[in-house]
Structure 1
Amino acid sequence: MKTPEKQIGARMNRVDGRQKVTGAATYSAEYQLPGITYAVLVGSTITKGRITSIDTKAAERAPGVLAVITHFNSPKVPGFDTAGKDPSQPATVGGPIKVFKDDKIRFNDQPIAIVVADSLERARFAAGLVKGQYAQEKHQTSLEAAKSQAFLPTSAKKNPKHPMNDYQRGQVDAYKTGAIKLESEYVVPTEVHQPMELQAITAHWEAPDRLTIYDKTQGTMATRRDFAREWGLPEENVKVIATYVGGAFGNALHSWQHESAAIIAARVVNRPVKLMLTREQMFTMVGYRPYTWQKLGMSATPDGKITAITHEAIGQTSTFEEFTESTLAQTRMMYESPNLTTRYRIASLDVNSPIWMRGPGEATGAFALESAMDEMAHLLNIDPLEFRLRNYTEQDPEKNRPWSSKFLKECYQLGAERVGWNKRQLKPGSLRDGDWLIGYGMGVGTFGAHRGSSKANIRLLPNGTVLLQSAVTDIGPGTATAMTQIAADTLGLAPEKIKFELGNSNFAQAPTQGGSAIVNTVGPAVQEACLALKEKLRTLAASSNAAFASAKKEDVVFAEGYLTLNGNPAARVPFADLLQQVDGGFVTVESKPQGNASKNYSMYSFSVHFAEVRVHALTGEVRVSKLVSCADAGTIVNEKTAGNQMKGGAVGGIGMALMEHAIIDDRFGRYITKDFADYHVPVHADSPDVQVAFVNKPDPYVNALGTKGIGEIAIIGVAPAIANAIFNATGKRIRELPITPDKLLV
């Protein structure tokens, strides 16, 4: 019998690629339900205060308008009275602020009304007729002005072991007494999620107690839970569909006010309601990477051993929710330092809540840490790669545990060779090509190799194909493709014989897609479901063929229409005979993480990014001419889609380093940058052909597949690599992102 080709590790094309490029894929705003209506949100024109009146008469009389809903006439939502009163708790269903619940304005463009009509054009026209009147109050939207009011998050105050608490190893602020020391401040500005697919929802009350929503979400089950609580419904009465998601970087991890508004509107008009945010509303209504100020002090010996690090950060949050992120996590565990201090604070501003953005916290913190590493290497006149090697951690210094695996040194070697690191000069400005200054820089990234619990449904169909189902979504990394490969390898079937359905909350339980944890979590569930199916079929086959009774489940093979055994092709039972014995259902298997492994080992993925930049000496224009990203992410299930992940993160890092900056006019609390004309993101001309390399060595403890995670480490460390390369080219150290030509020409 021919041995099936191994699928894990193959460069397989995306199983849903054809649907996406031909337009056959249906996204949340594309569902056409009978009686569909269209909604448009109206936002506040002030930043803080109270609504005194809303004139809706002209809008209500406009052609095709079915309803205009405000806090004056919105129906009562049961969960609004009981949920979200504690701002220290992470937000669900829009957080402690509830849409159309009261007259308070807490941020600019906060939804104050929703207009529903029989066409999008009519809804948009009528929305322009809604006029709000306000009693305006003084607002504060500047973190720099509010730094002195920053505070320790309430969750940290309540729990001494909370990761947001102050951390101490050795002496406090010991860098201040170091012989060779530096102290620098760094700023990462507000950056906004701008995926291709706008945030959208189609809400449909199929019955007074049964709700179906087609939603742009990263977690069908979390969204189901949120809105079941909001409306006081059993979770099984709420169905969330997100079969296709057109990109997401974290903003779809949250249930937002526009979703609640659409569901309220569908309740009022008793018809399905479709609502899609505008590009401008994506800046104001669905989160962003928070503006963060950082200060980092470091000391070292003349031979390049770090003696102390102090890393402090203040991030912005809203007045109605305490948003926190792991800005200081990488500093506590990446490098050897006998003395280490971290302090994290947040400052409340009159803005909408931030939300996790790819590489949440770590991408921000790495800009300060990896820039400071480069600064210290320059002070010591040591190559930055050599400086990192001299302070390499062989075990986790924060938790005092061994790594489950760590092949960062291999990443260093792969990346340095590919970028041509040997051409880098210690003295900045030494390399030149005409008017272009050439420089090289590097930055390291890490993120936890998280694994949760998950389930998978599996069924053998009469035609010999296998159907797998999971509630997980796919925000772009190729989840269905990876799961198909895992199933194909486990079952010994060709990938085209496997169908993986996802993005439906009625499917088997799965986590929200985020935090680089899906392959680690859903992958083992798929693997175990496949093994369980083989065992079930082996047991059924044993009743009619004795050879199967003593066989091991790993010896069971799926052949053309038959179940057979490795080494004994004569032992075979037709699928049709086996299916007659199955009670029509799926085999459902739950996979849980190994408890002891996570307690005994520190589990992380690692990356290093090397950048070559060219800076025009006269204009300050920066071009990233080469970018090499190397990852230690355990077993690589699909090198092609994993490479896509790394390239996407690298491009995001170029945007973070050189162009992304959401600017608020603090006089009015309103964004100036609210479209792609003013808020710049990288395009093809800004991005080199990113080279990607994987160590591709399995982690023995995270899961049986040996995977770790890629999504976050793809961007963590890219921005400082570019900033460090710019310094190497020009001798100018820019500590506030983005690095635009005006900063280089000063």
Structure 2
Amino acid sequence: MNEAFFDKKDYKSLDRVDGRLKVTGAARYSAEYQLPGLVYAVLVESKIAKGTIKSIDSRAAERAPGVLAVISHVNAIKVPGYQTSNQHPSEPPVNGQPLRAFYDNNVYYNGQPIVAVVASTLEKAQFGASLVKIQYEKEQHKTDFDANMDNAVLPAQAKKNPKSPVADYNRGDKNAFVNAPVKIDAEYVLPTEVHNPMELQAITAYWEADDRLTLYDKVQGTQPTQQHFAKEWNLPPENVKVIATFVGGAFGNGLHNWPHETAAIIAAKQVKKPVKLVLTREQMFTMVGYRPYTWQKIQMGATKDGKLVAINHESVGQTSSYEEFTESTLQQTRMMYASPNVNTRYRILKLDVSTPIWMRGPGEATGAFALESAMDEMAFSLGMDPIEFRLMNYTDSDPDKQLPWSTKYLKECYDAGKEKIGWDKRKMQPGSVRSGEWLVGYGMGTGTFGANRGAAAVRAQLDADGNLLMQCAITDIGPGTGTAMVQIASNTTGISTDKIIFQLGNSQFPKAGNQGGSSTVNSVGPAVQAACNALKEQLKTMIASKGGSNAAFASAKKEDIVFVNGQVQIAGNDSAKVDIRTLFKQNNIQKMETTQESRPDENRNKYSMYAFSMHFAEVHVHPLTGQVCVKKVVCCGDAGTIISPKTAANQMIGGATGGIGMALTESAVIDHRFGRYVTKDFAEYHVPVHADVPHIEVFFVNKPDTLADPVGSKGLGEIAIIGVAPAIANAIFNATGKRIRELPITPDKLI
């Protein structure tokens, strides 16, 4: 049984407010909306990795029963936004551009969507798609990362802006590594990993009128999606409605808008009916992004007593030939440890593959595998305990931004994790601890991610019965957003959680960005708090205007006004209370409403804001078979105030599970003869299952960071996975003495 440890202060554990809807099947996902006249689209993919389409024979498909249309670049309506660009026609966009659905006859990768067959039923669309015949003009493709790594280039955005996060970075002496007394020089490889959430990517597109579009879409942001398709179709944003009330898991694949969405919109426009398009599991490997294959090299130098002298960190990440994708692989290296000399170099390698996308712990999870493995290697070279080595190089301020931390309680994470994993049983010499035939090892890894905050707004309505309804456009990809917002509202107002409803996932609701980058509670939470406080101010003014014994409300602070059993009262003053129903009746209103927006403040420029984590792993390795069994994981998080303890623990456990997959099982493999994935389902692409996931303990420091945002939360979705994979890799070294620098660590690498 997995469990969490936290200091229960203000927020209590609450079951998910949407849990009953989900377990009873009442929750509707993007593929489950049934509209009048609904038809189905199925995509046909390219079978080559590079070249052009010579011809498409769709005659048999068009004659097939129930087929309404066969759509390709030959006959697709023109997407208005494809024809306009801020760029001069002779100049390509700085970072390339997303793949345009049915735009021309170019083929950029194997698995590219090139035809959509629309039919009255899914089965008829699938059959029609099987009848489409395509001829190609092949060109020589490049999909082999290792064979082409010399072609890696500086990203265009770094060329344009030397201060870009992916530009070359130098702090201190560039040559300090050369003269360091103790040195390590190692290369690390992370293979392509595919998101594979439970819910397949799906969209139902419906043109309510020629200039009015409704999308039921699996996305991580309703309003960013609204803005994207409004621009693509030259529509006012208010004419595009995006619904994503429930999302069945997403790890970043919903942060980008993909060709299959445009394909469904084109199809709906052409057949003049609502069109549903659901990707297959195989198509999820090529059409909605992935964690890019990444090579890294770290040169690390230290004094003999353990002080870091220099860190040089290079990285090359994979991208597509048509669009430049970059991520923050090197950020943790720049700010985590007190090294006076740090140099980072980031390059991208353009291959004939689809575009990668941010995947949980984007960039930082990849970079942490190399950095935290290198820290473990250096600690071993110095004969130091890995935790003591990190503590010796602990930073009390951000050496990258040269700013103080808003808060940092990483030492508390070290202490809690050591105790709970049983670090005292760990031996310095690998292979020293056994359990029967099995070798036992202990490892740890540190994680960090920015405590990001964006602008968000919340509409709040209070009725005469004391029920509170809140609305926001934010989505919920699984962490329990609605639950957390209900808890913030309850904590702010005193209203019982069973009388609060938080509605989300609709672009017509007040402003919100994407759910991603560990920013939702930090962004939407303060807006919930502001809306609740605004309601209290309205009530306070309304009550005080009645005079008499109610005059005490005029001078009351908003935080002292609470709702209890249908009454508004001043905390600690039993005589100052007013029945809400009576108050509304006196003022001839049925409900009161407010919409409040919350934005980041100037603290963002004064402090460096990060969440931190420590992950500890105990592994057992069989020396004859190379089998690795993760016996226990302890995750410790410094994520500010823990708003929803139960769902926060769920987040950490889920992140640790993903880290186990990263470390031991996950790898998407391409057959370079054809440029096509051979791992395209769960038979070949292995994700952790229950038998792979051990007892996981979660500990939260639970100290607020009110400099980061008013609710004191710093976000934990990303730090839940960042540092897990190196913790397991380091534990395997401690068990076996074998340092595996290329993931996943499969038995063949240990025999």
TM bucket, shorter chain: over 0.9
Alpha-carbon displacement from aligned partner over 1:552-608 (angstroms, at most 9, x marks no partner): 33333324444333314454154364375559773100101112x111111000001
Counterparts in 2 of 1:52 and 1:12: CA distance versus 1, 3 Å: same
- The answer to whether the 8 Å contact 2:318/2:348 transfers is yes
1:540 equivalent in structure 2: 542
Any idea what SS the aligned residue of 2:188 has?
A: strand
Q: What is the RMSD of the two structures over their aligned residues, measured on CA atoms?
A: 1.5
Is the CA contact (8 Å cut-off) linking 2:302 and 2:310 kept in structure 1? yes
2:723 corresponds to 1:721: no
Change (3 A) 1:734 1:8: same
- The question of whether the paired residues in 1 share the 8 Å contact of 2:13 and 2:644 is answered with yes
Report what 1:472 is aligned to.
474
Name the structure 2 match of 1:350: 352
Corresponding residue of 2:660: 654
**Counterpart position of 2:596:** 589
Q: How far apart, in 2, do the equivalents of 1:39 and 1:15 lie?
A: 34
Instruction: Tell me if structure 1 keeps the 8 A contact 2:456–2:512.
Output: yes
Other structure's SS at 2:282 match: helix
* 1:472-519 Cα distance to aligned partner (Å, 9 max, x none): 000011000000000001111100010000000000101100000100
Q: What's the counterpart of residue 4 of structure 2?
A: none
Within 2, Cα distance between the matches of 1:7 and 1:208? 54
CA apart distance, 1:76: 1.1
Residue 48 of structure 2 is aligned with which of 32, 38, 46?
46
Q: Is the 8 A contact 1:8 1:485 kept in 2?
A: no
Any idea what the Cα deviations from partners look like across 1:41-72, whole Å, max 9, x if unmatched?
01011110000110111111111111111101
CA contact (8 A) 1:8 1:486 kept: no
Give yes or no for the alignment of 1:645 onto 2:647: no
Return the alpha-carbon distance in structure 2 between the equivalents of residues 332 and 574 of structure 1. Answer: 54
SS in 2 for 1:252: coil
CA shift in 2, pair 1:87/1:424, >3 Å: farther
> Would you say the 8 A contact 1:8–1:638 is kept in 2?
no
Q: Is the 8 A contact 1:7 1:489 kept in 2?
A: no
Q: Secondary structure at the match of 2:652?
A: helix
In structure 2, do the counterparts of structure 1 residues 295 and 87 end up closer, same or farther at CA, with 3 Å as the change threshold?
farther
Structure 2 distance, partners of 1:45, 1:176, is 49
Distance 1:222 1:8 in 2: 33
Q: Over residues 518-549 of structure 1, what are the superposed CA-to-partner deviations in whole Å (9 max), with x where a residue is unaligned?
A: 00000000000000011112222333345233
Does the CA-based 8 Å contact 1:557-1:565 persist in structure 2? yes
The aligned residue for residue 744 of structure 2 is: 738
Out of 672, 687, 692, the residue aligned to residue 686 of structure 1 is 692
Residues in 2 aligned to 1:52 and 1:258: alpha-carbon distance in whole angstroms:
22
2:674 equivalent among 655, 668, 674: 668
Q: CA deviation at 1:434?
A: 2.3
Aligned equivalents of 2:658 and 2:98: distance in 1? 31
What SS does structure 2 have at the residue aligned with 1:279?
coil
Correspondences of 1:122-133 after superposition (within 5 Å):
122-133=124-135
Q: How many Å apart are 1:144 and its aligned residue?
A: 1.1
CA shift for structure 1 position 97? 2.1
Q: Verify the 8 A CA contact 1:219 1:473 in the aligned structure 2.
A: yes
1:173–1:63 Cα change, 3 Å: farther
Out of 367, 370, 373, the residue aligned to residue 371 of structure 1 is 373
Q: Map 1:77-226 to 2 at 5 A.
A: 77-83=79-85, 95-226=97-228
In 2: Cα distance, 1:449 partner to 1:562 partner? 37
Distance 1:177 1:616, change over 3 A: same
One-letter amino acid matched to 1:608: M
What is the CA distance between 1:147 and its match in structure 2?
1.2
The superposition leaves residues 323-359 of structure 1 with CA deviations (integer Å, 9 ceiling, x where unpaired) of 0000000000111111111000001001110000000
Q: Is 1:271 the counterpart of 2:312 in the alignment?
A: no
Q: Deviations over 1:124-166 (max 9, x none)?
A: 1111111111101011011212211111111111112111111
Deviations 1:228-274 (A, max 9, x none): 00100000000000000000000000000000000000101111100
Aligned CA distance change for structure 1 residues 561 and 695 (closer, same or farther; 3 Å) = closer
Task: Give 1:83 deviation, angstroms.
Answer: 4.7
Q: Tell me the residue number matched to 1:244.
A: 246
1:89, CA displacement in angstroms?
Answer: 5.4
| Pick aligned residue for 1:231 from 218, 225, 233 | 233
Of residues 4, 12, 15, the one that matches 2:14 is: 12
Q: Decide whether aligned partners of structure 1 residues 576 and 134 sit closer, same or farther in structure 2, where only a CA change above 3 A counts.
A: farther
Partners of 1:7 and 1:129 in 2: CA distance: 63
| Alpha-carbon distance, 1:82 to partner | 2.1
1:8, distance to aligned residue in structure 2 (A): 4.5
- The alpha-carbon distance between structure 1 residues 415 and 667, as it changes in their structure 2 partners (threshold 3 A), is same
Report the alpha carbon displacement of residue 651 of structure 1 after superposing the two structures with TM: 0.4
Residue 433 of structure 1 is matched in structure 2 by 435
Q: Which amino acid aligns with 1:277?
A: L
Distance 1:685 1:571, change over 3 A: closer
Aligned counterpart, 2:5: none
Q: In the superposition, relative to structure 1, how do residues 552 and 575 fare at CA in structure 2: closer, same or farther (>3 Å)?
A: farther
CA contact (8 A) 2:463 2:591 kept: no
Among 541, 554, 559, the alignment partner of 1:554 is 559
Q: State how far apart, in whole Å, the 2-side matches of 1:691 and 1:15 are.
A: 24
The residue aligned with 1:305 is: 307
**In structure 2, do the counterparts of structure 1 residues 234 and 576 end up closer, same or farther at CA, with 3 Å as the change threshold?**
farther
- Unaligned 5+ runs, structure 2: 1-7
- Look up the match of 1:3: none
SS in 1 for 2:30: coil
Distance of 2:564 and 2:702 partners within structure 1: 31
Equivalent residues of 1:435, 1:618 under 8 A apart: no
Who is 1:705 aligned against? 711
**Structure 1 residues 623 and 7: alpha-carbon distance in aligned structure 2, compared to 1, 3 A threshold:** same
Answer whether contact 2:95 2:157 (CA < 8 A) is retained.
no
**Secondary structure of residue in 2 paired with 1:135:** strand
Farther off after superposition, 185-194 or 166-175: 166-175
Deviations 1:276-331 (A, max 9, x none): 00000000100000000000001111111111110000001111111000000000
Alignment of 1:247-326 (within 5 A): 247-326=249-328
Distance 1:402 1:130 in 2: 61
Q: Which amino acid aligns with 2:177?
A: Y
In structure 2, do the counterparts of structure 1 residues 581 and 108 end up closer, same or farther at CA, with 3 Å as the change threshold?
Answer: farther
Deviation digits for residues 417-458 of structure 1, max 9, x if unmatched? 100111111111111122211101110000000111110000
Distance 1:659 1:414 in 2: 28
Give me the whole-angstrom Cα distance separating, in 2, the residues matched to 1:700 and 1:390: 28
Amino acid at match of 1:101: Y
Separation in 2, partners of 1:129, 1:591: 54
Is residue 464–residue 591 contact of structure 2 (8 Å, CA) maintained in 1? no
Identity in percent: 64
Give yes or no for contact 2:162–2:168 (8 Å, CA) kept in 1. no
Deviation readout 1:598-619 (Å, 9 max, x if unpaired)? 1111100000111100000110
Question: 1:98 & 1:586 partners in 2: Cα distance?
Answer: 43
The secondary structure found in structure 2 opposite 1:253 is coil
In structure 2, the residue matched to 1:445 is 447
Which structure 2 residues correspond to residues 512-527 of structure 1 after superposition, within 5 A?
512-527=514-529
What is the CA–CA distance in structure 2 between the aligned matches of 1:197 and 1:84, rounded to whole Å? 36
Provide closer, same or farther for how the CA distance between residues 89 and 470 of structure 1 changes in structure 2, counting only shifts above 3 A. farther
Secondary structure of the corresponding residue to residue 198 of structure 2: coil
Q: Of 609, 624, 629, which residue of structure 2 is paired with 1:623?
A: 629
Q: TM-score, normalised by structure 2?
A: 0.96
1:701/1:78 CA distance change after superposition, 3 Å: same
